[in-house]
Structure 1
Amino acid sequence: MATDCSQRPFSRRDSLAALLLAFSTPLAARADGYPAKPVRLVIPYPPGGGTDITGRAMAQRLAETLGQTVVIENKPGATGMIGAASVAKSSADGYTVLFGAASEMAINASLFKNMTYDPRTDFEPVMLVATFPLVFVAQASSSRSLAALIEAAKAKPDSVSYGSIGSGSPQHLAAELLSSMAQAKLVHIPYKGSGPLVQDAVGGHIDMAVSSVPAAVPLVRSGKLRALAVTSSQRSDALPDVPTMAELGFSGYEFNTWVGVAVPKGTPRDIVDRLRSGLLAALAAPDVQSALRDQGAMPVGSTPEQFRQFVQDEVAKSDRIVSQAGINPE
Structure 2
Amino acid sequence: MSRRESLVRAAFLLAFAAAPATASAQPGAYPAKPVKLVIPYPPGGGTDITGRAMAQKLSEFLGQSVVIENKPGATGMIGAASVAKSAPDGYTVLFGAASEMAINASLFKNMTYDPRSDFEPVTLVATFPLVFIAPATTTQSLKELIEAARAKPDSVSYGSIGSGSPQHLAAELLSSMAKARFLHIPYKGSGPLVQDAVGGHVDMAVSSVPPAVPLVRSGKLRALAVTSSARSEALPDVPTMAELGFAGYEFNTWVGVAVPKGTPKEVVDRLRDGMVAALAAAEVQATLRDQGAVPAGTTAEQFRQFVHDEVAKSDRIVSQAGIQPE
Q: Which residue of 2 aligns with 1:5?
A: none
- Say if 2:275 is the partner of 1:279: yes
Partner of 1:311: 307
Amino acid at match of 2:40: P
CA contact (8 A) 2:26 2:270 kept: yes
Q: Secondary structure at the residue paired with 2:266?
A: helix
Q: Which amino acid aligns with 1:34?
A: Y
Contact 2:125 2:257 in 1 (8 A): yes
What is the aligned counterpart of 1:255 among 238, 251, 256?
Answer: 251
Residue 93 of structure 2 aligns with an amino acid whose one-letter code is V
Residue 246 of structure 1, aligned match among 224, 242, 246:
242
Secondary structure (helix, strand or coil) at the match of 1:289 reads helix
Q: Whole-Å Cα distance in 1 between the matches of residues 299 and 11 of structure 2?
A: 11
1:88 & 1:326 partners in 2: Cα distance? Answer: 29
1:217 alignment counterpart = 213
Give, in angstroms, the shift of residue 24 of structure 1: 6.2
Structure-2 separation of matches of 1:280 and 1:13: 12
Q: 1:28 to 1:313 in 2, by over 3 A?
A: farther
Aligned counterpart for 1:134 among listed residues 118, 121, 130: 130
Give me the whole-angstrom Cα distance separating, in 2, the residues matched to 1:313 and 1:28. 34
Picking from 165, 172, 175, the partner of 1:176 is 172
TM-score by length of 1: 0.96
5+ residue gaps in structure 2? none
2:155 is aligned, of 159, 177, 195, to 159
Structure 1 residue 241: Cα displacement: 0.5
Matched, 1:37 2:27: no
In structure 2, the partner of 1:322 is 318
2:66 pairs with one of 37, 57, 70: 70
1:83 maps onto 2:88 in alignment: no
Tell me the residue number matched to 1:296.
292
Determine the structure 2 residue equivalent to 1:116. Answer: 112
Give the drift of 1:15. Answer: 5.7
Aligned counterparts of 1:280 and 1:21: Cα–Cα separation in 2: 10
CA contact (8 A) 2:40 2:79 kept: yes
Is the CA contact 1:45–1:52 (under 8 Å) kept in the aligned structure 2? Answer: yes
Instruction: Write out aligned runs for 1:190-201 (5 A).
Output: 190-201=186-197
In the aligned structure 1, how far is the partner of 2:94 from the partner of 2:255? Answer: 10
Task: Determine if the alignment matches structure 1 residue 9 to structure 2 residue 12.
Answer: no
Give the Cα separation in 1 of the matches to 2:42 and 2:154. 35
Residue 84 (structure 1) shift: 0.2
Measure the CA separation in 2 of the matches of 1:159 and 1:238: 31
Following the alignment from structure 1 to structure 2, what is the Cα–Cα distance between the partners of residues 321 and 23? 37
Q: 1:16 to 1:278 in 2, by over 3 A?
A: closer
Give, in angstroms, the shift of residue 131 of structure 1: 0.2
Q: What are the superposed Cα offsets for residues 40-64 of structure 1, whole Å, 9 maximum, x if unpaired?
A: 0000000000000000000000000
**Partner SS for 1:129:** strand
Task: Say whether the 8 Å CA contact 2:19–2:273 is kept in structure 1.
Answer: no
Does the 8 A contact of 2:12 with 2:276 survive in 1? no
Paired residue total: 325
Q: Provide the identity percentage.
A: 80
1:28 and 1:274 map into 2 onto residues whose CA distance is 10
Alignment deviations for residues 14-51 of structure 1 (CA, whole Å, 9 cap, x no partner)? 26524642556432644741000000000000000000
For residues 210 and 108 of structure 2, the distance between their equivalents in structure 1, rounded to whole angstroms, comes to 28
Check conservation: 1:131, 1:299, Cα contact below 8 A.
yes
1:173 Cα offset (Å) = 0.1
Paired amino acid for 1:147: K
> Shift of the alpha carbon at 1:239?
0.4
Which residue identity does 2:172 align to in structure 1?
A: E
CA deviation after TM superposition for structure 1 residue 144, in Å? 3.1
RMSD of Structure 2 on Structure 1 (CA):
1.5
How far off its partner does 1:82 sit?
0.2
Matched residue of 1:329: which SS? Answer: coil
Runs of 4+ in 1 over 6 A off after TM superposition: none
Please say if residues 28 and 277 of structure 1, whose CA atoms lie closer than 8 Å, have aligned partners that are also in contact.
no
| Aligned residue number for residue 121 of structure 2 | 125
**TM-score scaled by structure 2?**
0.97
What secondary structure does 1:26 align onto? helix
Partners in 1 of 2:26 and 2:285 — Cα distance?
26
| Pairwise CA distance, 1:13 | 4.4
* 1:81/1:104 contact within 8 Å kept: yes
Q: CA deviation at 1:10?
A: 2.1
Alpha-carbon distance in structure 2 between the residues aligned to 1:69 and 1:200? 42
